[in-house]
Amino acid sequence: MKAATGVLVFAAGTFAAAVLAAADAPGEGVASDGAERYHLRYEFSPGEVFRCKVTHLTTVDTKIRGVTETAQTRSVSTKVWKILSVDPAGNVTFTYTVEDARMWQQLTGREEIRYDSTQDKEPPDEYRHVAETVGVPMGTITISPSGEILRRENARPQFNPGIGELTIPLPPQPVQVGESWTREGELPIRLNDGKVKRIKTRHVYQLKKVETGVATIAARTEVLTPVDDPAVQSQLVQRVKRGEVRFDVDAGRVLQQQMDIDATVIGFSGADSMMKYLARLTEESA
């Protein structure tokens, strides 16, 4: 598995979005230089069910006091939005469920652990929290057409088997190929003394191209807060990604997304410690 190395990235595990060409009114459909503009927005219909297959692979190599360990994990899950309503403003309300999950982990010197929610009646202890959550609606959520979460009522504690964030923010105005938009954010990091440090970030998105009905959006996160502590860096690299998302313009659905992490942190647990974190998240509409 080869992953991209570079700027820390936050691209969300998006469920569905429509990339619609804006109307041909002056200033909307065509830019002043003649370039076509596209209106990116989430759009669903009441009663609709949208499924995505999500695969998350990680390999973490650590070295502490001369001892090297490798942890590998894999999860394949199906996440589902059941659309309850869409109001006149385009705000979408839906229930959110992880329908099934197949999990695997292998740690150095230990037996591998597996769980398949579609077959195993009794899960191993390591995946009991997964078994209790799979197939049960985790909440009712309302989002705006631009992806802002307006309301969230959690029915159960959130289980996230590497499925990323709920939505990506979309620009309120039409954009042309090459244009970018940003949104500020924070990542909470727990320090060794138990306190929480909030790391400021800027999420950057760019419409790369629209070809044969498919729009491609690149995403990355710029970390704005200076981070010199390797222990904090070791948590950051596990939670931010770099990649791109492909949308079917006509159908208004995510075709595929891929996010990668390839990072190494030195000194996260002592001067001679090292952690190499490699991960890939892929998502495909079912």
pLDDT in tens, 161-199: 444 567 878 888 888 999 999 999 888 888 888 889 999
Inside any domain, residue 134: yes
Q: Does residue 226 or residue 9 have the better pLDDT?
A: 226
DSSP 124-135: -GGGHHHHHHTT
Residues 197, 96: Cα–Cα separation, whole Å: 29
Inside any domain, residue 85: yes
C-alpha to C-alpha distances, 258 to 84, 162, 192, 246, nearest whole angstrom: 28, 12, 32, 9
**Residue at token pair 């949104």:** 183
Does residue 59 sit in helix, strand or coil?
A: strand
Residues 236, 231: Cα–Cα separation, whole Å: 9
Inside any domain, residue 7: no
Q: Alpha helix (H) ranges present in the chain? A: 128-133, 230-236
Burial 158-192 (b: 16+ CB within 10 A, else e): ebbbbbbbbbbbbbeebbbbebebebebebebeee
Inside any domain, residue 22: yes
Q: Does residue 124 or residue 250 have the better pLDDT?
A: 124
Inside any domain, residue 42: yes
pLDDT at 39 over 60: yes
* Number of domains into which the chain is organized: 1
Inside any domain, residue 3: no
> Of the candidates 169, 156, 159, 206, which has an alpha carbon nearest to the alpha carbon of residue 54?
159
C-alpha to C-alpha distances, 136 to 80, 97, 104, 158, 189, nearest whole angstrom: 11, 6, 21, 11, 29
Residues 165, 149: Cα–Cα separation, whole Å: 11
C-alpha to C-alpha distances, 128 to 41, 77, 133, nearest whole angstrom: 37, 16, 9
pLDDT mean over 226-239: 89
- Taking the model in full, what pTM does it have? 0.80
Domain residues for the domain of 140 are: 18-285
Q: Residue 146 sits in a domain of what CATH number?
A: 2.30.230
Note the pLDDT of residue 278.
95
Inside any domain, residue 5: no
Are residues 246 and 259 in contact, defined by beta-carbon separation less than 8 angstroms?
Answer: no
pLDDT mean over 141-165: 74
24-38 pLDDT tens trace: 333 345 555 678 988
* Poorest-pLDDT segment among 126-130, 164-168, 227-231, 273-277: 164-168
Note the pLDDT of residue 221.
84
Inside any domain, residue 8: no
Q: How many residues in the chain? A: 286
**Residue 28: DSSP 8-state:** T
Are residues 239 and 230 in contact, defined by beta-carbon separation less than 8 angstroms?
Answer: no
